[in-house]
Amino acid sequence: MFNRLNTVLPILFCLMGSSVVFGQRDKYLLHVHRTLDSILIHIKKDNIDTSKIHSMSSISYLFVQAEQYKEADSFARAALTESEKINYKKGSAFALYSLGYVDEWHANYKEAISCFSKSIDLYISMGDSNQLAPILKGLGDVYIRQGNYPLALEMEFKALPLFEKYNDEIGYTGNLLSIGNIYAEQQDYGNALQYYNKVLKVDTTNNGGMDISYVIGNIGDIYQMQKKFPEAVRYTNKALKLFKANGNKEGEIDAIDNLGTVCFQQADYSGALENYMQGLSISKEIGSKELIADNFIYIGKTYEKQKKFTDALNYTNQGLAIAKQIEQPTGMRDGEQILATIYENMHDIPQAYLHYKAYMTIHDTLENDDNTGKLTRQEMTLEYEKKQAMDKAEQEKKDAIARAEDKKQKMLTAFTAIIAIAVSIFAIVIFFSLRTTRNQKRIIEEQKKLVDERNKNITDSINYAQRIQDAILPPINFIKHSFPESFLLYKPKDIVAGDFYWMERTGDTILIAAADCTGHGVPGALVSVVCSNALNRTVKEFHIVEPGKILDKVRELVLETFEKSEANVQDGMDISLCCINTKTNAIQWSGAYNSLWYIQNGEIYEVAADKQPIGKIDKPQPFHTHSLHLQKGDTLYLLTDGYADQFGGPKGKKFKYKHLQDVLLANAAKSLEEQKNILQNTLEEWKGNLEQVDDILVIGIKI
């Protein structure tokens, strides 16, 4: 019977192996089902021994290669159970290896790590390093999927010399490909392309082009991320053709999704949806939770761009739920970010803030500097270990030289001992004179440490406050959507700012403002929160849209807030507030100390603001509303005083408003984006080595 079994299995493995390599999965399955019944009959009739355990494990591994994971799981678990009955370590190790790939496919990452790790431990305990390379690579691939790039790189680099040692060309190229993928995920495109090109230089004829397919697809990914769209499409279509020829569904999905992303980045949202929907269909067909989650999120993001928020929420929430279920951090990060954007566009600020906060938490975990540093250290350490192995042949020569030097070293040691005694005597002499100095130094160091800790706590708090302040500012894409020809120059003096910009849309009316609260830094930021809230309440709660009346109501609300304090708070804000009707281009404006500028027919004009702030003053007057008659092509400028008050130039003087008007007028014919760049460069040249004295805010809008 065993002679028959040993005759059948090699033929079966050969047929299955060649079919899988060339991607002919239908042909492979035909060979499996024709011969599997006879193998099972022999397994059932006789007691399980090591030959049959290897047969089951090998069949399981072939099912893994063919992506038939249900069958692979069944055979691997049977092999593991029988191996453990007879304490057969080699059988258990190989079965655990197959189970690791099964769990990885089903996105059971914790179980996959456990299976791979146990398999590695068993092979090491047997002193068998021949099987370690593919298992280490499998473990590294799981860490890649989890976003744990330092551990992923460590495993992949440990596998690399083993693939070389055993001349495993296919494993070696797959290993190089995974390392390239890690660098690509870290946006280190130079190193990524370096490793992809290493794959292309290796002879992969025995691999049927599978690694070449992936590396060509990944090069397409990099060109897509670099926005080199023609190259991205060319490489991705080439990879897609190879994936289809090889029957590689997972690679096919990656290529289709990449084509969708190219369409998305060029604002071809219909084309993007068509590709993402196709990717989702194939992902469901093969049952990959990770790819299903990715495609749901891609589709949600595309619907968000089309302003189809109901569909966007539906698909994004489905993708986020699966990403959380399989603990996929990149999917959770992207899902939370898209939900924050959707709710922001729906003006549901509380929900937008909650999802933005969740996004930042995951983003900080994935993108912190520590992970990037670990990647570099891992590679340096592993390269050093490889160099040690290469230098081993020269060690005997070094040992001989060391023995020749030993006698000389003994003499040197004796001389050193004499010097040490002299130094000790000298140290005793000066010890007492240094004691006081040491105590003083220790006290100073302790105080410095305490100050550093307090400064760090303060800085961390201010950085978090910056996130909160950023959340209340309208997003740049919201402003650009409403005013395609516009710019925003916003440069806080400190981490948080007293200057802020504000925007609200009511029907055909858009309200936009540039505001300067008392002070800058943390005090100014606190006042800005109060004033921004007052603006929101005035428009949304009291339904006031006339600029002068808005400022009257905002002053009332700000004073009401500060009057609750027992202290005499004199803070407030200066503001330039504009109301634009998008249908008629009718413009109304009102200002508190901050004027409005506009350029018309090659001339710059100023509409003077009321000489009173939003805050507590004697004899307050109602704010005036000015109606402007502007033409298409005229440009409005709303600004605070920070730019004009900046010191610099050859004499260290203020820039001044007249100088700023001259700059704007001289560049009025240029696009708004060019004007912004000119203002930035002019400011930096004027400031030179001097520090920024105040928050800076300038908004430009072309009618």
pLDDT tens profile 598-628: 999 999 999 999 999 998 888 899 999 999 9
pLDDT tens profile 288-325: 899 999 999 999 999 999 999 999 999 999 999 999 99
Top-confidence range, 88-97, 382-391, 606-615: 606-615
Q: How many CB atoms lie within 10 A of CB 322?
A: 22
Within the chain, all domains assigned CATH 3.60.40.10 are found at 474-702
Q: What is the pLDDT of residue 412?
A: 60
Q: What is the pLDDT of residue 59?
A: 82
Integer Cα distance of 320 and 295 in angstroms: 11
| Sign of CA pseudo-dihedral 256, 261, 266, 272 | positive
Q: What is the pLDDT of residue 281?
A: 93
Intra-chain end-to-end CA distance of the chain, in Å: 89
Q: With 70 as the cut, is the pLDDT of residue 497 above it?
A: yes
CA angle 679, 504, 701 (to 5 degrees): 30
Average pLDDT over the chain reads 81
3-state secondary structure of 603: strand
Q: What is the pTM of this model?
A: 0.41
Integer Cα distance of 683 and 692 in angstroms: 10
CB of 550 closer than 8 Å to CB of 597 = no
Q: What is the pLDDT of residue 308?
A: 93
Q: 């900046």: which residue's tokens?
A: 646
Q: What is the pLDDT of residue 38?
A: 42
Q: With 60 as the cut, is the pLDDT of residue 356 above it?
A: yes
Q: What is the pLDDT of residue 28?
A: 41
pLDDT tens profile 130-188: 888 888 988 988 898 888 888 888 998 998 888 888 888 878 888 888 898 888 888 88
CB of 296 closer than 8 Å to CB of 319 = yes
Which residues does 158 contact at the CB level (< 8 Å), separation at least 6?
A: 136, 382
Q: With 70 as the cut, is the pLDDT of residue 204 above it?
A: no
Q: Which CATH class is domain 474-702?
A: alpha beta
Run of H or E including 671: none
Q: Which of 76-90, 324-338, 387-401, 452-466 has the weakest average pLDDT? A: 387-401
Tokens of 702: 């072309």
Q: What is the pLDDT of residue 47?
A: 47
476 band by pLDDT with thresholds 50, 70 and 90: confident
Q: What is the pLDDT of residue 101?
A: 83
Q: With 80 as the cut, is the pLDDT of residue 419 above it?
A: no
SS3 letters for 495-556? CCCCEEEEEEEECCEEEEEEEEECCCHHHHHHHHHHHHHHHHHHHHCCCCCCHHHHHHHHHH
Pairing of strands 635-639, 696-702: antiparallel
Integer Cα distance of 15 and 22 in angstroms: 11
Q: How many CB atoms lie within 10 A of CB 543?
A: 8
CB of 465 closer than 8 Å to CB of 525 = yes
Q: What is the pLDDT of residue 510?
A: 94
Q: With 90 as the cut, is the pLDDT of residue 46 above it?
A: no
pLDDT tens profile 217-274: 888 888 888 888 998 899 899 889 988 988 889 889 989 999 999 999 999 999 999 9
CA angle 70, 87, 107 (to 5 degrees): 30
Integer Cα distance of 671 and 584 in angstroms: 23
| Sign of CA pseudo-dihedral 433, 437, 440, 441 | negative
339 band by pLDDT with thresholds 50, 70 and 90: very high
